[in-house]
Each structure stands twice: as structure tokens, then as C-alpha cells.
Chains A and B, each alone.
Chain A
Amino acid sequence: MSSFNSATASLSLQDADVAVPRSTGQPTLAARLLGAWQAAWPTLRRFLLAWPFPLAIFALWSAAAHFEWVAPQVLPSPETVFNTFGDLFNSGELRTNGVISFNRVVSGFAIGASSGLLLGVLMGLSPTFKDYVYPIFRAFAQVPSLGWLPLLMMLVGIDEALKIILVAKAALVPVALNTLKGIEGVPTRYIEVAKVYGFNQWQLLVRVVFPAAFPMIWNGVRYGLTHSWLALVAVELLASSEGLGFLIVYGRQLYQMDVVMAAVVVVGAVGFVLDKVLATIETRLLRWRHDAF
């Protein structure tokens, strides 16, 4: 879901801009310290304010566990979760299962995203191809990945193939759709300019169409990766004997909520890292855009 983040414009409805009066002449040490403090304060304030809420929840959790307001099977104490996390980490269980899930999501995503890209490019460049394929593609996309799951389970069983196909499907749809939209959205003006310069079709594609469509395509790629991860965790919860999703189910079946929570934390962390990697690549690849200004 994090791909819907865009840069937020700074705007506050409450505090109007306050003009800081400037003193004339050389600033004294005190004034400079004050200045440094004023500069650092907002960041520090942000940092400090982030903590009360989670800490309050944590305190509530600790209290609930300590006084046994709820059964420990339902809500283990924070220490238990922390210790379990340590145990699972040291025994390598978290790492093994994490790596398995990671490999699945990466290979499924790679297949899905590249076929989605191909499909999107073909549909974007050839209206005829689009005429034939787009309607059935839309119909295919209307059924969420989880809707295909039972059908796939019957057709390919519950092995590795099931996970890879489902993860690939989850990535394919957003990538293909966004690639199509991105290519169709390339302004005609750009094409005209390229024509003036006498670009051939290859140059047109490589130098104009793809760079112009890239932000949109990448948006689809990020969205696709988020969906892939979502789909993989779901399918691992339902049908798997290894992986992070399996670890969660396993803990749940044994009523070991500490295991469940530890695994959930890792699931969150992996999702976070995957998205961050793509975001970093994006800033790298789009550096040329900033150069223009």
C-alpha cells in the first residue's frame, strides 16, 4: 500500500508563517546557539512526538499481560515476544523462512513484472493488439489473485508452482495496466518533436516513449511488488509448509502467539525493505529529471 505515498506538500492549517526578526550586526554566541536550537527543534520535536503513542500501547500491552487481563495464549507479554524473536532468529528459523518467502516473491515478481511489461508495451504500441487482448485481459484482472487460488490449486497442486504463478499474476496486472496507460499518455507533442529531429522508430521508442512513460510504469512496478508480497503471504498462510506465512499459521495452530507476532514483524520488515529498494532505484533512475531544473 505504500506506493500511494507521494511527496506531501508542506502546509499547515494552523500555524501561519512567523517571521523571525533579524538582528543587525554580528550575531552573539547566544544568538547563534538560539538559531541552532531553532533549526534543530522541529526535527527533535517530530522525533519526540513519535514515541508517546506507541509507548502508551506498549505500556497497555505490558500491563494487560502482567496482570493477566487476557489469557497469555491470546496476548503474550512483550518480553515473551521479544525472547521468542531472539530464539527464532538465533535458531535460524526466521532467516530460513524469510529467505524462502523472499526468493518466492522475487522470482514470481520477476516473471509477472516482465510479462506484464511486455503485455503493456504491446498493447500500448499496437492498437490492433490492444483491440484483441485488452477485453480478456480486463476480465482476467477483475478476479483478484485470491479468486484464482482455488482454481490454481486444483490445476497445479500446492507446490512451488502455485506460489510463483499467483505472485506473478499479482504483479502482472498492475504492471501491464500502468505500462499501457504510461505509453498511451505520452504527449503527442513529444512525438512531433522527435519527428522534427528525424528520429527513426527505434530512437523514438528508446529516447522518447519509454523515458516519458517510465514514471507511470515504475508506479505499476512498485504497486505490483506490494501486491506480490500481499499475495504470497496469503498463499503461504493457506497452503505452504515453509515460509513466513507458514510460520504464522504454525504459531497460530500451536497457540503460540509470540511466534505469530515475531513472524508478523518480519513480514512487515520484508515488505518495507522491498518497497524501499524500488524507491531507491526510482530516485536513481529519475535523476536525469532533476537535472533539467
Chain B
Amino acid sequence: MTTSILQLAATDKPVVSRSPLRWLHPAIVPKPLRGWVIPGLLFVLWWAAYRFGWTQSQLFVPIEKVWDTAVKLSSTGELWKALGASLARDLAGFVIGSLIGLLVGGALGLSRLMENLIGPTFHTLKQISLFAWIPLISLWFGLGDVAKVAFLALAAFFPVVLNSFEGIRSVPREYIEVARVFAYSRTQLLTRVVLPSALPSIFTGVYLALIYAWLATLGAEYLLTSGVGIGNLLTDGREHFWMDYVILGVVVVGIVGFLLNWIASRIEARLLSWRGRSTAQF
């Protein structure tokens, strides 16, 4: 899912005009509204199920109840406290993990010796499924915020190392040769050639790190159950069979994930805007 492939997908017109599924085309709903049809139907179904009493399940809560809970939790500040705690952890772990990841990835990319020394160990460790680290981390760092941040940092660390390493390694040889012709110093070579050229890949890594860190925040809060956080809110809701809490939690998790994604893609677009679209053509 690199940027170039995404951009590539955007440059060529889609195949769909000759689609064998053309017959599916019911021109009833205007295009911009189509995305709302399924969610709208689901809402109506949800509302009707309550209104007409189709289910007596304890797990079933009406929409208003979820809304009321949202209002209640946000006015008491409980929701904001949980959200703030989760986000603070998420960011702390993400920043620490990405910075260390950049250092390690840079070292692996720039030095063959480092690659030979650390690379194999790194590639072995990265095979371990992320959450399998939690029991070890909990034993070494406890159940508090230190352990959570350490785990989040680990979650962010792996994709950043991999992608910065590969970004640096795939700097075209010609670029380096040109820089040699211009007699660039080592610093110049790094800051003017290697870094700009590796930046898109590094960004992919940071982007992935952001996504993984958010996933890991939830995991850490489920498994290291102390303190407050969105994960704890969800766990509480589940344990007490408060469906409204759980639904609210899921929605909040989704919104945060969406916003993190959006912010990262804006920053990426801004930072990489100098590249223009030239890379997309081949």
C-alpha cells in the first residue's frame, strides 16, 4: 500500500465503464446520496426493531439510549478523560517508537555493517505477533502506563524501521553518483539526496506506525487493565452488559482512527507536495 501505487491507481481511468455488472445500475438514487442508503436502512431497522418490539434481548439498546449515554459521559467528562488518557498514551508510544525506529532504520540503511550485525536479529524478532509481547512487557514493566507506552513504542517501532531501511536502500544509485560528481559532503549527501529520496517510504512507515499504535492502544488497555482509557470503557461496558457503552466506545474508536488517518495523510501530502505527480507516470 505504498503511495506510488495509490497515485498510480488514481492516474489511470478505471476499468469500470466496460463492466459486466452494468446491469446492476439502478439510476434511482443520485450519486452523492448512495453512500447513505445502507447506513440509513440500518438505522431505520434499528429504530423499528425497538419501536415495534421485535426483540426483547437485554443486549438490544435503542439508538436514543446510546445518544443519551454519549451526552451523559461527555458532560460528566468521563468520556474525555478516557479519550485523553488513551490518546496521550498513543502519542507518547508512537513518538518514542518512531524516533527509535528512525534511528535504527537509518543505521541499518546507511551501514552494511549495522545491517549485518542487527538485521537478522531484527527480522527474527519482528515475526513475533505484536500482542504476544504483552505478557513479557507486563512482567518487566508492570501494568501501568510505563508498560503500555513501552508496548505502543514497540508497535510503532517495527514498521518505521522496516520502511526507513527500505527507503534508504532503494535510493537510486544514479542519485548517489550525481552527488559524488558534485562532490557533496557526507552531510550534504544525507540531507539533500538520501533523505528526500527515502522520505516517501519513511512516511509510509510512520503512517503504518500510527495505525498500529492505535490498534495497540486498545490491546494494551484490554490486557493491562489498570487506569482509564477508551479500552477500559469498552471492557467495563462489556463486563456490565452495557451495550450502549460498548457501541459508543466502538464509534469513538472509529472516529479517532479516522482522524489519525486523516491528519497523517494531510501532513504527508503537505510534506511530499514538492514531488508533484511526476512519480505517478511511467
Which A residues have a C-beta under 8 Å from some C-beta of B? 1-2, 4-6, 8-9, 11-15, 45-46, 49-50, 52-54, 57, 74, 122, 124-129, 131-136, 139, 142-151, 153-155, 177-178, 181, 183-188, 191, 195, 201-202, 204-205, 209, 216, 219, 223, 229-230, 233-234, 237-238, 245, 248-249, 251-252, 257, 260-261, 263-264, 267-269, 271-272, 275
Contact = CB atoms under 8 A, between A and B. Distances in A.
B134 A143 contact: no
Contact of B247 (A6, A139, A151, A251): A151
B102 interface: no
Contacts of A5: 162, 166
B21 A142 contact: no
A44 to B, nearest CB: 11
Nearest to B165: A8
Task: Give chain B's interface secondary structure class.
Answer: helix
A125 B16 CA distance: 5
Given A143-B250, A147-B253, A126 B173 contact: no
Contact of A50 (B119, B219, B249): B119
A126 B24 contact: yes
Among all A-B residue pairs, the 8 with the closest Cβ atoms:
A135-B35, A49-B116, A185-B9, A126-B21, A131-B34, A268-B128, A147-B253, A50-B120
Contact of A6 (B118, B166, B215, B238): B166
B134 A150 contact: no
Contact of B254 (A142, A153, A248): A142
A134 B1 contact: no
Nearest to A216: B5
Contacts of B129: 229-230, 233-234, 267-268, 271
A262 B123 CA distance: 18
A127 B59 contact: no
B18 A144 contact: no
B24 A1 contact: no
B215 A144 contact: yes
Interface in B79-134: 110-113, 116-121, 123-134
Interface in B221-244: 222-223, 234-235, 237-238, 241, 243
Contacts, number: 237
Contact of A150 (B29, B128, B169, B235): B235
Nearest to B21: A126
Nearest to A139: B254
B257 A49 contact: no
Contact of B131 (A139, A204, A237): A237
A54 B234 contact: no
A188 B1 CA distance: 21
Given A143-B257, A267-B132, 5 more contacts: A11-B169, A147-B218, A188-B13, A233-B131, A264-B132
5 contacts: A54-B120, A139-B39, A183-B15, A234-B129, A245-B131
A144 B15 contact: no
Interface stretch (B44-52, B66-74, B135-143, B263-271): B135-143
A183 B170 CA distance: 27
A122 B21 contact: yes
B171 interface: yes
B24 A184 contact: no
A237 B139 contact: no
B115 to A, nearest CB: 9
B204 to A, nearest CB: 8
A7 to B, nearest CB: 9
A49 B117 contact: yes
B8 interface: yes
Contacts of B127: 2, 268-269, 271-272, 275
A144 B249 CA distance: 12
A28 B117 CA distance: 35
Contacts of B111: 14
B38 interface: yes
B195 interface: no
Contacts of B36: 135
A189 to B, nearest CB: 8
Given A126-B19, A230-B129, A50 B117 contact: yes
B159 to A, nearest CB: 6
B276 interface: no
Contacts of A6: 166, 170
Given A50-B121, A185-B9, A267-B129, A9 B170 contact: yes
Given A52-B117, A154-B243, A252 B135 contact: yes
B203 interface: no
A201 B18 contact: yes
Contacts of B37: 132
A57 B16 CA distance: 55
